[in-house]
Amino acid sequence: MMQVKPQDNLISLSQFLIEEQLKLPYATGGFTALMSHLVYAAKVVTREVRKAGLLDNILGSNSTQNVQGETQMKLDEYADRIFTNALSICGHLCVMASEEQEDLIHIPEGYKCGKYTIAIDPLDGSSNIDSNVSIGTIFSIHRRQDIEAKTPGTKEDLLQPGHKQRCAGYIIYGSSTMLVLSTGNGVVGFTLDPSCGEFLLSHPNMKMPESGSIYSVNEGNYNYWSPEFQNYIKHIKSIEDDKPRSARYIGSLVADFHRNLLKGGIFLYPNDTKSNKFPNGKLRLLYESAPMAFIAEQAGGMAVTIKGERILDLHPKELHERSTLIVGSKKDVEQFLNFI
Ligand code: P6P
């Protein structure tokens, strides 16, 4: 006797996007179509991430040959290939940018240019792949400057402040694959059900706890921090601070952020003031800091730079521009701002 399982009644991402589209009278379905191509790529990358580490799979450098004598490529280059190929032909993008590619990615000849742009980090945290740590894909979608134009998009269409994002999200390849996104009406999370190949709505209204006990920072960089930042970290670890803290740092932005989104806390990546390693911070503004900031704010959190500027107000000047990032629970970021 067949039983309807609870997950059989869950809403799929496709249904969710169509319902959101129906709420907008001017919606043409372009965004829904764009997202369906992104979701397809996420499923393909999930398949390879889940197998990474097996003999004939994608690991390490791209100079090796697998057992069939095929050239292997690094998983992040593979993810870049899958996402950019799937997205470039969706007909609703006018230009793309990827962490893996230096220049703009134009829509191939013969394919329609649409009114959206996307900037993507195809596989963030990929240095952790060999140790089987959770990694992720981060994406940021804007509307082009002239939404009526049918011409190829430009760098200016990509270089927009984060508060103008139409959608920001990430895919986390962890114990399960989750897709977390916001279109400006809060944050929703979908979990991939491998048994039916669908992302199902598992977290309908994600809210970042107002305050948390977790702080995430790479303390190995302590000696490169400014004295003010060193003092802040010392303070939150001291008994003067009125709450117990737990240090949690995975070294994979999506994993660190996702945990803090669920449990509360603060993630910090400041700049190095004593070396030229990361004088402006390590994370990339366009496809790491800005999308994560959008999600954080939509979930009730905050996201600022080491100087206290709102991340979403920064206007990027270059595709791969770096920024500092202090993101997390509202009260924890406010405490940072008051201290600094
Ligand atoms: P570090 C991964 O390389 C990454 O870009 C982010 O995912 C992560 O938060 C950060 O760098 C980790 O950097 O210097 O602490 O190893």
Cα(78) to ligand 1 centroid in Å equals 20
CA proximity to 105, closest of 89, 88, 121: 88
The pLDDT assigned to 294 comes to 98
State the pairing for strand pair 101-106/116-124. unpaired
**Closest ligand 1 atom, CA of 254?**
7
- Domain made up of 13-203: CATH architecture: 2-Layer Sandwich (3.30)
SS3 call for 2: coil
Per-residue pLDDT of the chain (340 residues; tens, 9 = 90+): 878 777 667 899 999 999 888 888 888 888 999 999 999 999 999 998 887 666 455 555 454 444 444 444 588 889 999 999 999 999 999 999 999 999 999 999 999 999 999 999 999 988 787 788 899 999 999 999 998 998 999 999 999 999 999 999 999 999 999 999 999 999 999 999 999 999 999 999 999 999 999 999 999 999 999 999 999 999 999 877 778 899 999 999 999 999 999 999 999 999 999 888 899 999 999 999 999 999 999 999 999 999 999 999 999 999 999 999 999 999 999 999 999 8
Query: Which of the listed residues 253, 257, 287, 325 should we mutate to test ligand 1's pocket, taking the one with most ligand atoms within 8 A of CB?
Result: 253
Of all atoms in ligand 1, which is nearest to the CA of residue 267?
A: 9
DSSP state of 12: B
DSSP-derived secondary structure for 247-286: E---S-HHHHHHHHHHH-EEEEE---SSSSSSTT-SEEII
- Establish whether residue 124 lines the binding site of ligand 1, counting it when its CB lies within 6 angstroms of any ligand atom: yes
Nearest ligand 1 atom, CA 249: 15
Would you state the pLDDT for residue 132?
Answer: 85
Tell the residue nearest (CA) to atom 3 of ligand 1.
125
Q: Which of 76, 99, 124 to mutate to test the pocket of ligand 1 (most atoms within 8 A of CB)?
A: 124
Q: How far is CA 88 from the centre of its chain?
A: 19
User: What number of CA atoms fall less than 13 Å from residue 194's CA on the CB side?
Assistant: 8
The token pair that represents 168 in the structure block: 């920001």
Domain 214-339 -> CATH class: alpha beta
Half-sphere exposure of 7 (CA within 13 A, CB side): 13
Contacts of 232 (CB under 8 A, 6+ apart): 336, 339, 340
> Is residue 218 within 6 Å of ligand 1 at its C-beta?
yes
Q: Tokens 């660190």 — which residue?
A: 256
Tell how far the Cα of 254 is from the centroid of ligand 1, in angstroms: 10
Annotated domain spans of the chain: 13-203, 214-339
Pocket lining: 219 vs ligand 1, CB cutoff 6 Å = no
3-state secondary structure of 297: helix
Instruction: Judge if the beta carbon of residue 121 lies within 6 A of ligand 1.
Output: no
Can you spell out the DSSP letters for 174-226?
SSSEEEEEESSS--EEEEEETTTTEEEEEESS----SS-SEEE--GGGGGGS-
Is any atom of ligand 1 closer than 6 Å to the C-beta of 252? Answer: yes
Determine the distance separating the centroid of ligand 1 and the alpha carbon of 253, expressed in angstroms: 6
User: Whose Cα sits closest to atom 12 in ligand 1?
Assistant: 251
Please work out whether the CB of residue 140 comes within 6 Å of at least one atom of ligand 1: no
Backbone phi and psi for residue 172, each to the nearest 5 degrees, phi listed first: -110, 125
What are the structure tokens assigned to 236, written together?
């939150």
